Structure 1
Amino acid sequence: MPSQLPVGEAAPSDGSLPADALRGVGERPFGVYVHVPFCATRCGYCDFNTYTADELGSSTGFDGWLDGLRAELDLGARVLGAGDRVPRADTVFVGGGTPSLLGAERLGAVLDAVRGSFGLHPRAEVTTESNPESTSPEFFAGIRAAGFDRVSLGMQSAAEHVLQVLQRRHTPGRAVQAVAEAHAAGFQHVNLDLIYGTPGETDDDLRRSLDTVLDAGVDHVSAYSLIVEDGTAMARKVRRGELPVPDEDVLADRYEILDATLRAAGLDWYEVSNWARGPEAACAHNLGYWQGGDWWGAGPGAHSHVGGVRWWNVKHPARYAAVLAGGESPAAGRELLSAEDQRVERVMLELRVRDGVAVQALDERGAAAAAQAAADGLLREPELAAGRCVLTDRGRLLADGVVQRLLG
């Protein structure tokens, strides 16, 4: 969850939503995102809404946060179940921050809270992010027994000097060991996260990281280019000239290395930054974001979207817990998306996935731009003829620019 909240209108203190937004709840995919705001240390590149123990002091601990989370999930069930029935969660994703800092027992309590409020679909996908350094065989066994069936581990790189620039604490080999422990605990679906384009990283560093990922035997890989976010320690180093700004041409070259290596190993792209070993390994929760589903985001700074209404929670864990203890919604603000807003977001998000976006979502000007983009080798001609805009390999490198062309 990004640390900066958008500017919107005031959100109702009872969390209520317009009737139009509630119409169709339960018919669209529905996910629950839980934001864990705790980290052992702050990585130099990260601008997420996270807090170390020193930053929080005694204001809010794990249990106070968990009490607030239970209250918000109960609130969500009341809001979405008003006048109808409470939607069961098709997916649950516990992110952060560092969810594994909670330990297996508290993560199990988080999942119990979701079960007790919304309930889970019988085949629900249940994921948690984890830092390799705060996991163990006992941890993985505990969360598997609690009902988690997918785990995402933050590896970032197998090169020690790259991890040092990113200010990551784990050792290069720990992520692979954690994957083996997760597999031994019964997890079939394990993701490793990579970051490419870090200052000092070479093509060979990335190739070695990819070899490490493939040797680990995971069925999903997420890979993101390094973005130097304002307000981070890395941004300050770049501003002082201590680190270079990531080069766009280098990032494009690294992406091509990633894609070619992963595809040769049987992991194909299904979203611009995500590769999976078959459809069953793809992250259904994230597909819900990209393909217009509903989700309730619970936790400090978490964002939600239901039926064209988007809202976001207060950021600080102590404020979050206090507002909920007072019986009110923790929402800090919200936006009511117009039909045009929703169309624009649909194009922006769906174009990123392998199935692309329907030409029907474009206006007349956008349809003409799509034809030109296909002629320029950015969209696939056969799919466009069948009524869908699907990025080519070259188009994925220029995805943001393609979106701009289609939206005029």
Structure 2
Amino acid sequence: MTRFNTQLVHGLPVNDNNTGAVNPPIYNSSTYAFESVEAMPRWDYARSGNPTREFLERQIAQLEHGTRGFAFGSGLAAIHAVLSIFQPGDRIVVGKNIYGGTYSLFNEFFTRWGVAVEAVDTADYEALDAAVAGGNGEEPAKAVYFEVLTNPLLQVNNVSRISEIAHRHGALSIVDNTFVTPYLQQPLDLGADIVIHSATKYLAGHSEVNAGLVVVSDDVLGERIYYSQNRLGGVLAPTECDAVRRGIQTLALRLDRQQENALAIAEYLQAHPLVKTVNYPGINGDREEILRENGLKGFGGVLSFEVVPGVNPATILNNLHIFHLAVSLGAVESLAELPCRMTHFELPREERLKVGITDELIRLAVGIEDKQDLIEDLGQAFELAYTEYLEEHDDLQELAKLSA
């Protein structure tokens, strides 16, 4: 068995390329010929399967140590397919701090279709256990859905502990591994049943393709997800499959640099007088302990921070030159955004504030540029925000509060 970084480059070949090409072919065909009415071919229709898609699906299953992988047209399409295995009347416990699009899918669609959704702090194991167990006439939950590193507050969820609680009550453990990738953690090894990726992000890595991936721990779940994939039809096209495959080849190289840059920026922000809080695991000196306790090899390249009261976060964001003001993450270029107006606008303000997503919170998705250039870009934007603050607050007491 080859090691992880070699698997990133080579994957599991389809073994039908007779040309000697080092890359798998892109099969742009929506249908496939039968040899006869009696002989069912390996592929018959692209929604049911495609050789290029199969290469990617087999590779992500290998990287995540799962039995079977599935490729979809977006991360939300992947989540939709997974959630479609549940029935009206089923109950799903969901981590409180999740991506806004996922929140919308749960609360605007699946609740309307009869699935009960209960949000819980997944770091509070007693509350989580009670929520999954049900009681007082309520059936146990069918699943627990959570993110390894929460978006956008970067809280660490312990996959082993949460999966153990889920399984105690017969529930599935469903993990969004987008922020971490299999390079930094393989949740199925820690007890998860289903792993989901927005492959648009780190796996593809170049802001050029929308894609979602799912990996399951056993063949029974594999058949259920395949049925959903085939019937719902949100599959990833061959050209996009190949774009994700190419991105995966450089995942380790990119993520190593992104983590290095993210840590340097987090340390810079933590010392900045205009910054109230920084959200990046291990920033307070407990890095190795957090990694060990949670089965992680790193914390990825996303961080968030809250500016002090009175400083306008939009001024900072609008004056960045290297960071792009854009949603998404995991690409080679650095991105910055305001969650309350961008990635998490779907959440009602009271819901956002409950989990700590304030109006002053900025999220950075750090790329592979020179870290000093990124820090200097933030620095000049902070200077403009500070100048604006001084113009609007000439009260010396207010200035003292800001610099205290």
Asked whether the two chains share a fold, i.e. TM above 0.5, the reply is no
Q: Give me the TM-score of the superposition, normalised by structure 2.
A: 0.30
Bigger Rg, which one: 2
Q: Give me the TM-score of the superposition, normalised by structure 1.
A: 0.30
Greater strand proportion: 1
Higher relative contact order (CA 8 A, sep 6+): 1
